[in-house]
Chains A and B, each alone.
Chain A
Amino acid sequence: MPAPAEKYLEVQRSDEFAQLRHRLRTFIFPTTVAFIVWYSLYVLLSAYARDFMGIKLIGNVNVALIFGLLQFISTFLIAWYYSRYAARNLDPLADDIHSAIDKAPATTDGGKS
């Protein structure tokens, strides 16, 4: 059940929540920027650096194909790394805050959630 509004404001201002938000945002925002830049680089090279993309590396496997496959690998790695990061650094903190909301009576109305 949702808690009263004052309770959420109180939690939002708490240090614990600030830390959760900080840990979350410092992971998801830079990572998003990074993979979008990395993907854009790939699209830009596909559009403007065709000679480079056409260089053959092993047999008929060229830079373009390797670059494309690297996008797959980076996607899998980021997904895996995020889930590990979240399980270690976000989930326990979120659980603490979650159960604290239910346990502690709200200071303003003393009601239960």
Chain B
Amino acid sequence: MAPVLLAAEASAGTSRTLTITLFLIFVAITLGITIWASRQTKTATDFYAGGRQFSGFQNGMAIGGDYMSAASFLGIAGLIALYGYDGFLYSIGFLVAWLVALLLVAEFLRNSGRYTMADVLAFRMRQRPVRTAASVSTIVVSIFYLIAQMVGAGALVSLLLGIKPDTEFLGMNANTAKIATIILVGALMIIYVTVGGMKGTTYVQIVKAFMLMTGALIMVLLVLAHYKFNLSALLGDAAAQSGKGDAFLEPGLRYGVESASASATFYSKMDLLSLGLALVLGTAGLPHILTRFYTVPTSRIARKSVLWAIGIIGTFYLFTLALGFGAAALVGGANITAQDKAGNTAAPQLAQQLGIDYLGGDSGGAIMLAVIAAVAFATILAVVAGLTLASSSSLAHDFYASVIKRGQASERDEVRVARFAALLIGAVAIALSIFAQSLNVAFLVALAFAVAASANLPAILYSLFWRRFNTRGALWSIYGGLGAAVLLVFFSPVVSGSATAMFPDQDWHWFPLSNPGIISIPLGFLFGWIGTVTSKETDPEKYAELEVRSLTGHGAH
């Protein structure tokens, strides 16, 4: 099989034009939907919760759209293509996590909250400090995640459009194209959120999820057909092409790597456990996922939407398994790393190869590449829109309306501030991403999950299920879990002191793990417990109201 580099010379022009055309079609459709949605958005409930009129299936798709980021699609497929089995560990953590959301969070949140995570956390607490804390943690998680996605988009654009360091495209070199992409992605997400609110953003998620699932399905079918639907043959070929043999099909090439040094091996394995824990406990604390549960009419439909989401997301992660091993077998690790060392182009390269083999040679390859590249951009765009919406909602509803205006803000005022907040957060995210674009910030996705698991999840679970929980407990678990996760990562090898660090030339690290979860998650729970038992505050009446409402749906918004 001839080695194929992305956007090989002959088809580079066609593919590039097609990618841009397809992407512009997606943008045009979603902007149309956004403008339509803005006409339907009149009340605060419309803006924050899409009018609570989405069906279980629609919201399930939208959850998938919010959740299946470029890190899932390109990142996991790339990890599997380069490191084999270990990429699968990520998918499994990301999927199992949904059981936490289903069993412990979704329905109770829907029943007792209104627009944001803080509605539940502050239900029986002193409003201002708890809402401030929840808002801080929501914004920190969202900004980390936003930067990772936007910098990723910038890095992808030159790869997917085939802009090489020494060439120019529309008068831009690779570096200016990167910055232009970050600004474009940022501007579009601000428009989706400020104009369309939750209703527009939800439809963007649905369209994106549909495109992503369809694109991935076509590729999976082609890969499987190539091996006559014999999974073992696909795995065997992938292992042989990888040059690593059977080890490619076993855990240990990327995470928990065994080396000559006993302490390095120990820490590497602890890191794997720490990552696994953050993945499985982080999802149910992600603000942009939590706000999704408010977009349906009842808690039963919220349950149904999580069931749909589990089905859609689970299927998608099974797809990535075939995509990753398919890319390893049909494109080959060397060709992938020649394009991108991190493997993010494995899926697009596989698409191109499949197009060449099955859809009529070079032009077929160019078409497939363009389709998948456009899907990848749509994926990033939808995720950043969801994040911007969740954080601006919290800034307006929690911080502005409750903390600054002490609950006296009018609905119109609140929505006006939410739109302005989206603009502000979008601008900050663009500025930070441009500053960070030359740094390795891939760890920020894992950090966002770790903060969500360490700060948000303990506070949510204690709030819902522990009668004694109080204001101090909530503050300590949020600030304690958030502080622990961020500080440990700041002193970890992903920020300084290693070749792949954010600041590779500096070294102030003393914490040996890249993932803080194994320490910071128990700390978040512990801080919440200590804070609670050292404070005398209790409010049995408000807890009765919270418990009865969360279990029965009485008085639900």
Interface residues on A, range: 35 or more
The answer to whether B547 touches A12 (Cβ under 8 A) is yes
Q: Contact: A20 with B552, CB < 8 Å?
A: yes
Contact of A71 among B96, B549, B551 (CB under 8 A): B96
Q: Is the CB of A47 within 8 A of B272?
A: yes
Q: Are A28 and B103 in contact (CB under 8 A)?
A: yes
Q: Which residues of B contact A5 (CB under 8 A)?
A: 541-542, 544-545
Mark each residue of chain B from 68 to 98: 1 if its CB lies under 8 Å from any CB of chain A, else 0: 0000000000000000010011001101101
- Shortest B309–chain A CB gap in Å is 10
A71–B92 touching, CB < 8 Å: yes
Q: Is the CB of B541 within 8 A of A54?
A: no
Question: A97 contacts which chain B residues (CB < 8 A)?
Answer: 548, 551-552, 554
Contact between chains at B250 and A54 (CB < 8 Å): yes
Q: Beta-carbon contacts of A46-63 to B below 8 Å, as 1s and 0s?
A: 111010011010111110
**Once the chains bind, are B547 and A65 in contact (CB under 8 Å)?**
no
Interface string of B185-216 (1 = CB under 8 A from A): 00000000000000000000000000000000
Cβ-based interface call for B226 (8 A) = no
With A79-B99, A79-B307: A61-B104 Cβ-Cβ less than 8 Å: no
- Cα A104 to Cα B176 in complex, Å, equals 68
CB-contact partner of B280 in A11, A39, A98, under 8 A: A39
A32 contact from B85, B100, B249, B306, Cβ within 8 A? B100
Of all A-B residue pairs in the complex, the 8 with the closest CB atoms, nearest first, are A59-B232, A2-B555, A46-B251, A60-B235, A43-B276, A12-B544, A8-B545, A5-B541
Residues of B within 8 A of A (CB): 85, 88-89, 92-93, 95-96, 98-100, 102-104, 230-233, 235-236, 239, 246, 249-252, 255-256, 258, 269, 272-273, 276, 280, 300, 303-304, 306-307, 310-311, 314, 317-318, 465, 540-542, 544-545, 547-549, 551-555
A-B contact pairs, 28 of them (CB 8 A): A2-B549, A6-B541, A8-B545, A12-B544, A21-B547, A32-B100, A39-B276, A39-B280, A46-B255, A46-B256, A48-B269, A50-B251, A54-B249, A64-B249, A65-B85, A68-B85, A68-B89, A72-B92, A72-B95, A76-B310, A78-B103, A79-B99, A79-B102, A79-B306, A94-B552, A95-B552, A97-B551, A102-B554
